Chain A
Amino acid sequence: MTFAIVHVLPELLGTYGDRGNVEILSWRLKERSIAHEVLTVGVGDAIPTSADLYLLGGGEDDAQIAAMEILAKNDSLKKALENGAHIFAVCAGFQILGTQFPASGDRVISGLGLVAVETVSARHRSVGEILSRPTVPIEMLTGFENHGGQTRFLDDLQPLGHVVAGIGNGQGSNVDGLITSQIVATYMHGPAFSRNPELADWILSRKIGPLATLTAPIFNQLHDERVSKTS
């Protein structure tokens, strides 16, 4: 079985190096000799609905709206979830999965509604290092956030982490991102899997099952450095 990763619209959702998450997952699978493929879906390409893991990154307002329009057209992500796929979404990608997100000129854009969250415009942009204590058994999470929206849960949802430093979802919630049975979302750029190797493996193992130990100390060193500098 080849594990299929879909990199969703990187030219639109790829402003903050989040494409690195795709490269890192691919590298971690390759190092473990797990057969996999990365399908990069560009503007105008059909989005497959039978892959294993879909990655969405951050993007600017117009690009986020353009991505939203493309994704809404044929319900591809919804169909993929129905087929058992998992999604990892960062920042603008996270916001797209919710019911609505803001755009310049006081516009409110309807989201895909795949998770019960909505994003509203914040008075101040959230920019800087973010540290959160994860709600799943992995090490402290570290990233760099840069977003003008704040996201609130419309239902009783599990966050990805409880914020120790930084803003995260905002709205006084002190949490970052969310976890459902098939979706993990966050405001952490960095990219997230570069600084949080345990998060990368935890997401992979939810779909693949237990993974062999991978010795790649540089990612752990980077994680520890960022955590200690932000604490």
Chain B
Amino acid sequence: MKLRIVIGVANFFGAMSRIAKRGSGVMVTGRIILKLQPDAVRILSRKRKVILISGTNGKTTTTSLIYTALLEKNEVVSNYTGANLFAGLAAALSKNLSAPLAALEVDEMVMPWAIKQTEPEMVVLLNLGRDQLDRLSEVRLVAQKWKDALATLPKRCLILADADDPFVVWAALDWSNILWFSAGGHGHIDASTCPACGAVLRWSQDGANYSCECGFARPDAQWVLTGDELQGPEHQSVKVVSGIPGRAALSNAARAIVAASFFGVALYDSAMSISRVTSVDGRFAKLRIGNTDFRLLLSKNPASWRETLSTSESGPERVLLVVNANTQDGKDTSWLWDVDFTALKKRYVVVTGERRLDVSARLTVNEIPHHLVPDENAAATLLGEVEADLIASYTAFHRLAKSVTR
């Protein structure tokens, strides 16, 4: 069957699924495309320049920002709403067949397949940390998968990788066409041993530098974000303004500006368009439940909880935590004990979600007073007519984000 017909059929069923309110229809479209044409991602990537974006945290935001920046100069397709598995990639590539660029978010474990299928022009590697250990396995093993896959990249491909993350560095360092990015390191919860040789990794006191007796060490970064100023290897400089709160969003904005510069978008133009993005796929969107105006924040693992708690600190005094442990959240909640919730001590804290008892036990030992409620509606009743942050794990976040009027 001709690919255009396959896409037509798949889009029809995707639309039906959307009309039947079974979701956005993206997954249905993608699955049908791959069923009828297993080679679709390879074929649809052929005449395009493809950018793959992956990492434990920040990939949806970074992809969306790269997409936004690239739009300044080009037509682009992207899965910027986070459908980052096989079907999501196929569905994204099936849109706007004349678009010369594709910015694709890829699940860490799907990277080997995505690299093989798309033969990308650029790969953006953000970070690797513990996340859903029951599904993704240990961090070192994910890094090994990346290392093997990156060795198969086409020679022309440029890697933009984080110099502050030892796992990312180890996975990427054999590649010659590489640019290192740094937004300033502050240690790494999983990198106590050297990814290269297994010996204990030596970290500087401030967590900004690391090295090993085997010679493995933090590379010098060509692109550096200091405060809000991004500087390049040829003395390029631009002020980064993020419409999305938090330090992580600022560094993702900087990465997006660097990435887009290789596709003809001037740093300043990218910075301007990126500064206007205030919410990505429900992150930091507003949601009213009862009389409470919530700001939605996604938090998935120890690293993202630390980041989110720090971002939320300057937000409203009241905060609702919603934690589940379904497949996409990770079924093991042990990680809650790797997060220090002390920052919540001065705030009014409400807890719900399928695993609220686990959270409550954690907060009890952390000596954070809190209220346990059965669901978000009960939380809203308790909170009343106020603004509040709602920090949710993956499945809870996506259920709530669906209700946000876009």
* Interface, chain A (partner B; CB < 8 A): 11-12, 14-20, 23-24, 27, 43, 60-63, 65-66, 125, 127-129, 144, 146, 189-191, 194, 216, 218-219, 221-222, 225
Contact = CB atoms under 8 A, between A and B. Distances in A.
A20 B302 CA distance: 13
A66 B335 contact: no
A62 B193 contact: yes
B198 A62 contact: yes
Determine which residue in B133, B138, B192, B332 has the highest number of CB atoms from chain A within 10 A of its CB, and name it.
B192
B193 A66 contact: yes
B358 A12 contact: no
Contacts of B198: 61-62, 65-66
Contacts of A11: 192
Given A62-B198, A127-B134, 16 more contacts: A15-B138, A16-B335, A17-B334, A20-B336, A20-B365, A27-B364, A43-B192, A62-B193, A66-B192, A66-B198, A189-B334, A190-B332, A194-B337, A194-B362, A218-B357, A218-B364
Contact of B193 (A20, A63, A194, A221): A63
Given A43-B192, A225-B357, A17 B335 contact: yes
Contact of B192 (A63, A144, A191): A63
Contacts, number: 94
B190 interface: yes
A19 B337 contact: yes
Nearest to A19: B337
A69 to B, nearest CB: 9
7 tightest CB-CB pairs across the interface, nearest first?
A20-B337, A17-B334, A62-B198, A17-B337, A11-B192, A222-B357, A62-B193
30 contacts: A12-B192, A12-B193, A12-B200, A15-B133, A15-B138, A18-B334, A19-B337, A19-B338, A20-B334, A20-B337, A20-B365, A61-B140, A61-B198, A63-B192, A127-B134, A144-B134, A144-B331, A144-B334, A189-B332, A189-B334, A190-B332, A190-B334, A194-B361, A194-B362, A216-B364, A218-B357, A218-B360, A219-B364, A222-B358, A225-B357
Interface string B362-398: 1011100000000000000000000000000000000
A20 B200 CA distance: 23
Interface in B139-163: 139-140
A218 B361 contact: yes
Given A15-B190, A17-B335, A128-B331, A66 B199 contact: yes
Chain B's interface size range is: 20 to 34
Nearest to A219: B361
Nearest to B364: A218
A167 B194 CA distance: 31
Contact of B139 (A19, A60, A218, A221): A60
A63 to B, nearest CB: 5
Interface of B: 130, 133-134, 137-140, 190, 192-194, 198-200, 331-338, 357-358, 360-362, 364-366
A60 B138 contact: yes
Given A12-B193, A62-B198, A128-B134, A191 B360 contact: no
B268 to A, nearest CB: 42
Contacts of B133: 15-16, 146
Contacts of B130: 15
Contacts of B140: 60-62
Contacts of B137: 125
A15 B337 CA distance: 10
A18 to B, nearest CB: 7
Nearest to B139: A60
A16 B334 contact: yes
Nearest to A63: B193
A8 to B, nearest CB: 13
Contact of A221 (B190, B332, B357, B365): B357
B336 A43 contact: no
A221 B360 CA distance: 10
A23 to B, nearest CB: 5
Contact of B337 (A23, A61, A125, A216): A23
A72 B238 CA distance: 52
Contacts of A218: 357, 360-361, 364
Nearest to A28: B365
Nearest to A42: B192
A43 B134 contact: no
A62 B140 CA distance: 9
B365 A17 contact: no
